Amino acid sequence: MSHDMNDTSGICVSTRPANRAFTLIELLVVIAIIAILAAMLLPALARAKEEGWRASCIDNLHQCSLGVIMYADDNKQVFPSPGPANYPTWWTGKGSGYVNSQGLPCGGEWMAGSLGAQFPNTPAPMILPYVKNPMVFVCPKRRRGITYTTTNGNYDPSVTGFLSYGFNEISCFAAAVASGGTYAGMDVPTPQFKATQAYKPTDLVCMTEVSGANDPTLCDGSGSNGITGDAAWLDGEWAAYSGYNSGTYAEDDHRLQTAWGKHNNRVNVLYVDGHIQTQYVSQLTWGEFWNVYGSPSASGRGGAGGTVTPWPTLPTPQTWNGSIDYDTGMDSIVWCPLGQME
């Protein structure tokens, strides 16, 4: 039987193109859908990332809290007090300069003194044997303490001399003195502090987040930007030259009130009793730093009467129950260009 090769009656021929391309309209629709989905997802991802940073920061402060507690347990319940062992002081100036173990210029928030004869300049190195890792003092968002301008590379606070956290040295690790409406200084030698001295351990600030430059030349009042390299000392000077007392945004506001790297405009705060809160700086009061609460009378602190230690007079116009902020707008203000900090 013969077969006609030209007979196509039994063959199905498709009229559709072999490779149909998307039209321009279809491509634009797909791109628009992707853009809408991205716009919906990216804020959620950003919030999740921020929450991760905040949680890690809280964990750092928790480790610091344990370090302070264990240090106190080994030292008759006395909190770590920096400075030379025979003459503790809340802060030591840099003199010829703060240097790290490599002999390089660094910040002053770790050690002070000359190479080979150094001593702690904040409580941080004193609790390091208990927390083990110096990176505990670095906020994962702010990252202050990892780098310094002396040399390139990533390090840790024991090398850079900078921290992401500050210490209440007004009425916790040290003691400030204020009178007559002006800053009068700090008690030296630093008096001992125990948790039992806190009238309200749940309200007395122990540590919180701080920020500042990572340039050793901006420490201890040097350089065109004053002391923007000093941040870890929430002390009498900071109390006198920041917040509402400044009358405007002042040089010391960078430490806390206008700190960079807040978590949704809030900071993590460690209290003496060990609990940690995330709150707006404008919600913090001077009483929570000075260990003064309520409406204290001339006879003592705490607003509860009884025989207690008299307190100093706050610099005008600060009040015990007043916010440490100049105004609530400071919660969202960044103190300086990001290029100056970590």
DSSP run (H or E) holding 277: strand 276-279
Half-sphere exposure of 245 (CA within 13 A, CB side): 25
How far is Cα 120 from Cα 137, in angstroms, rounded to an integer? 15
Q: What is the pTM of this model?
A: 0.82
Could you tell me which residues are beta bridge partners of residue 165?
209
**CB contact at 8 A, 212 and 339:** no
What pLDDT shows up at residue 320?
79
What pLDDT shows up at residue 330?
77
How far is Cα 318 from Cα 337, in angstroms, rounded to an integer? 28
Six-digit token pair at 77?
Answer: 């319940």
DSSP 56: H
**CB contact at 8 A, 281 and 243:** no
How far is Cα 181 from Cα 2, in angstroms, rounded to an integer? 119
Sole residue written with tokens 């200084």: 185
Q: Which amino acid would we find at residue 296?
A: P
* Residue 132 vs residues 66, 67, 72, 153, 228: alpha-carbon distances, Å: 11, 9, 16, 22, 28
Six-digit token pair at 221?
Answer: 């009042």
CA 247 to mean position of chain CA atoms: 24
How many Cβ atoms sit within 10 Å of the Cβ of residue 203?
A: 16
What pLDDT shows up at residue 342?
41
**CB contact at 8 A, 170 and 235:** yes
Within 8 A by CB and 6+ apart from 188, the residues are 87, 89, 90
Q: What is the pLDDT along the chain (342 residues), one digit of tens a residue?
A: 555 555 555 555 555 555 667 788 888 888 888 888 887 777 777 777 888 889 999 999 999 999 999 999 999 999 999 999 899 999 998 877 899 999 999 999 999 998 888 999 999 999 999 999 999 999 999 999 999 999 999 999 999 999 999 999 999 999 887 653 444 578 889 999 999 999 899 999 999 999 999 999 888 854 444 678 899 999 988 888 888 765 565 667 889 998 888 998 999 999 999 999 999 999 999 989 988 877 665 445 544 444 445 556 676 677 778 888 877 777 887 765 444 444
Helices 24-74 and 124-131, axial angle in degrees (round to 10) = 100
How far is Cα 235 from Cα 237, in angstroms, rounded to an integer? 5
Sole residue written with tokens 């003199």: 95
CA-only gyration radius of the chain, Å? 28
How far is Cα 267 from Cα 256, in angstroms, rounded to an integer? 9
Six-digit token pair at 306?
Answer: 């009884």
Six-digit token pair at 201?
Answer: 């351990």
What pLDDT shows up at residue 72?
97
What pLDDT shows up at residue 306?
41
In 3-state terms, what secondary structure has residue 278?
strand
How far is Cα 317 from Cα 156, in angstroms, rounded to an integer? 39
Region label for 95, one of left (φ > 0), alpha (ψ between -120 and 50) or beta (otherwise): left
